[in-house]
Chain A
């Protein structure tokens, strides 16, 4: 029988776009395009997801239960109601956390081995 922890661990490591999307969704529901723009802003234009990559990742995340489609819509005047909004699930939150922990451990290991300068 698979425990929740196994379930979480089996999803790691997360591909960077998915990790970014999960982090973005922690701040609230977003539609696809908003997600893309937010990620673009956060990564200083380095991670620019095309439509195929974006919705491919969304499909994967829905499939794995990391996010779900949201029924509620923000103010109709503010946005187009036909857009589909996504929100993070509790599982998604735990997986993102686990990924962050994994990364922290990795960074710790690197620091122990190499010693990390403040900036490069």
Chain B
């Protein structure tokens, strides 16, 4: 019983325990002895427990308050150093937490699907769909039912459409799916019903499920929306359900509509995606093997499907959704940990130098009977106060970081929102603060633990040096320098990659160009006249120099591309190239130079001789022979359809500077029918001012057709470069920040060591040592750990540099040259900080230094 009580007494804080534990124990054993009988003893036990429960928290709080008051007093005394450490730590904890919130959303929090680990994406349909006429619904359902590895699978295809409800119209992302889509994912509608099994049969598929946000926006959240009619690209559909709030898979879908993926659909159509649910008990690896075997069996004998066969793979849906963001976030997280460590090293400097300054005081406390535990707790409390404050400030920084991350690399699903106020994220921040506080509070305390109070007091000099502390400080400086070199090397090489991106020749000029998109309902055949009319109106706008139209414009974020097979000479093997439709004047408007031949003219219309223009990249694949005047077969698979090459233009980098130039065949818009068009106009002066006039001009052609995505081409380029720009700026900022923190750390350490050695320095100068030499000596001693750190960092940077390419495609790994220059600049910057700190030596008055004694 007594032992149990002694054990329970540990709940009380150390200070109280030291003072009163033995008395309390004795009192308890007296009472226990006096208690007669079992009942009395049980009553005593209960009373004691109640007493403990009531008084222990009070004592803990009291002691904590004491420590906190003491800590606050001490930090006030060194306010500048404290503030710096605090800011550094807050930024580091905040940014790390912000990036953690991204990883949390992508990797940790589960998807809004039932058993998401069993959902996979199949890169190719293991049925003849898309290649064999007649392959379709029956084949698909036969495969779905008979597959050894998937329980069920759903096709889906996502594209923007014009949604009309009542009098309003909107541009929304529509997902056309098989009817089992939601059932497969395991998502129940918020309202209404799911698609029934036969609603993806032609004729019965006039139904739609709408997203939660759209429901709120279009119907004001009215349950009466179920049963009402909406029109998608003019086709009426009945709303049968509303999807749950955070469900917008795939990627920001607002309307789901069942589509008859039947024989009529494929042919040239490859744009669908396929998601499947693995059979229970089948691992991803097993399923992958079976899937690839099946694909090989299906496509094996056809050589033209080589690329399909090679590209066949299964990916966990979760990995696919996190795919684009994950590696970049992990790399950033790694860098943030470096910055955090640099900031922590600074905190450790602060605590360490305070601990050494206070050795005398702590020794006195120890000599007076304060236990090591008590002193350690005091130091840990001091450190934790600082880190807790930093964590709270850090949560605000995290909020910004997460918001920035959402702009630069938005998540694929609404349910993946990067939210900082998720319990895991908050726990992460607080945990980070607690660990930092404990680790860097224990560090100085471990020095105190080893100290022998008697010896410290006997020397009686508050400033006497401790070699353990000095060694530790040296290690901290070296670590800081090494980490900073790694970060700086990363930022140098990112900066260089980014500058290189800006210098890339795109094949078009982005300045002074206004662009806008129009999507026509697929039910009309009036596209060519409409485009012509719109162009005429656009050209008539005062200030517009030239205008053109194209089926697909470079830098426009979302659209499918078309391709075509062709043969240049009848004996050649069949090849493929991208196909784009452009109007006369398009190249001039885009600033794409004509290298040979002529541009399209108004006469290149339906009925006239078919003509094409090709890119320089195309010509290059024919070893730059002169192609103008040659005839090209655009339908080599069937009845030949010839066209004459009339011009060669410079290749455009379609997806911006990071993409490769393509082989493209351009055809005149008038000789082809299409439903989507992008208009471009080159204007005089600031293009921002022309956005609304140009929109009006095109809109005026047909009020019923929405004109959307009106932007300058410069803006589109900036959007394309947003990611590399963000990462470059982020890493440069991190590196600069780390450098600042490391330099402050080195400065602080040097000046601390000088203040600790004032006595010694005083003697050296008093016995005739030239101050310059003394300064040089101290400088060399302080710089030594920096040099070691820089060398370690050099190797670290060379090793870790290759991870940079995860941030954006054209980021180059940090080469030796970059690492070297980073190492040199960090070395110089830190040395400067230390040299500045040593200036005290020259100013030191030896007599004053000695008189302190």
Contact = CB atoms under 8 A, between A and B. Distances in A.
Contacts of B54: 50, 52-53
B56 A52 contact: yes
B20 A58 contact: yes
Given A59-B16, A59-B19, A84-B23, A52 B52 contact: yes
Query: Max chain B CB contacts within 10 Å: which of A50, A55, A83, A84?
Result: A50
Interface stretch (B25-33, B227-235, B277-285, B311-319): B25-33
Interface string B44-79: 000110111011101100000000000000000000
A32 B59 contact: no
Nearest to B23: A32
A56 B19 contact: no
B47 A48 contact: yes
A36 interface: yes
Interface in A62-87: 82-84
B24 interface: yes
Interface residues of A, number: 17
Given A33-B27, A36-B27, A51-B27, A56 B58 contact: yes
A69 B636 CA distance: 108
A18 interface: no
A52 B27 contact: no
Query: Max chain A CB contacts within 10 Å: which of B16, B20, B59?
Result: B20
A32 B26 CA distance: 10
A23 interface: no
A31 B27 CA distance: 10
A56 B62 CA distance: 10
Interface string A27-50: 000011100100000000000101
Interface in B1-48: 12, 16, 19-20, 22-24, 26-28, 30, 47-48
A61 interface: no
A98 interface: no
A51 B53 CA distance: 12
Contacts of B22: 82
Contacts, number: 54
A54 interface: yes
A117 to B, nearest CB: 34
Given A55-B20, A58-B20, A59-B20, A50 B26 contact: no
Contact of A56 (B30, B48, B50, B59): B59
A55 B28 CA distance: 12
B48 to A, nearest CB: 6
A50 B20 contact: no
Contacts of B55: 50, 52-53, 56
A52 B23 CA distance: 10
Contacts of A59: 16, 19-20, 59
Contacts of B48: 50-51
Nearest to B50: A50
A51 B51 contact: yes
Nearest to B52: A52
A20 B23 CA distance: 20
Interface of B is mostly: helix
Nearest to A50: B51
A55 B51 contact: no
A66 B21 CA distance: 21
B23 A55 contact: yes
Contacts of A56: 16, 55, 58-59
A36 B26 CA distance: 13
Nearest to A33: B27
Contacts of B26: 33, 83
A82 B27 CA distance: 13
B708 to A, nearest CB: 72
B362 to A, nearest CB: 22
A51 B48 CA distance: 7
A38 to B, nearest CB: 13
Interface string A11-25: 000000000000000
Contact of B24 (A48, A55, A82): A55
Question: Chain B: interface residue count, which band?
Answer: 20 to 34
Contacts of A50: 47-48, 50-52, 54-55
Nearest to A57: B55
A41 to B, nearest CB: 14
A48 B23 CA distance: 17
Nearest to B16: A59
Interface in A81-114: 82-84
Contacts of B24: 51-52, 54-55
A82 B29 CA distance: 15
B484 to A, nearest CB: 48
B313 to A, nearest CB: 66
A50 B8 CA distance: 14
Nearest to B58: A56
Contacts of B52: 50, 52
Given A48-B47, A59-B16, A59-B19, A54 B27 contact: yes
B53 to A, nearest CB: 9
A22 to B, nearest CB: 19
A52 B19 contact: no
B51 A52 contact: yes
Contacts of A52: 12, 24, 51-52, 54-56, 59
Contacts of A31: 23
A115 to B, nearest CB: 38
B21 to A, nearest CB: 9
B23 A83 contact: yes
A82 B50 CA distance: 27
B20 A53 contact: no
Contacts of B23: 31-33, 51, 55, 83-84
B20 to A, nearest CB: 4
Contacts of B28: 51
A84 B48 CA distance: 21
Nearest to A58: B20
A13 B245 CA distance: 58
A83 B29 CA distance: 13
A83 B30 CA distance: 13
Contacts of B58: 56
Nearest to B66: A63
B56 A32 contact: no
A32 B51 CA distance: 16
A50 B23 CA distance: 12
A32 B30 CA distance: 12
A32 B56 CA distance: 18
Query: Max chain B CB contacts within 10 Å: which of A31, A48, A52, A59?
Result: A52
B27 A32 contact: yes
A56 B50 CA distance: 14
A33 B31 CA distance: 9
B364 to A, nearest CB: 20
Nearest to A51: B24
B30 to A, nearest CB: 6
Nearest to A84: B23
Contacts of B56: 52
Contacts of A55: 16, 19-20, 23-24
A54 B26 CA distance: 13
Nearest to B51: A50
B727 to A, nearest CB: 57
Nearest to A63: B62
A84 B56 CA distance: 21
Contacts of B19: 55, 59
A81 to B, nearest CB: 13
A54 B50 CA distance: 13
A36 to B, nearest CB: 7
Top 9 nearest A-B pairs (CB, nearest first) are A50-B51, A52-B55, A51-B24, A55-B20, A52-B51, A33-B27, A56-B55, A51-B27, A32-B23
Given A32-B23, A52-B51, A59-B20, 7 more contacts: A33-B30, A36-B27, A51-B28, A51-B51, A53-B54, A55-B19, A83-B26
16 contacts: A31-B23, A32-B23, A32-B27, A36-B27, A50-B50, A50-B51, A51-B28, A52-B52, A52-B56, A53-B54, A53-B55, A54-B24, A56-B16, A58-B20, A83-B26, A84-B23
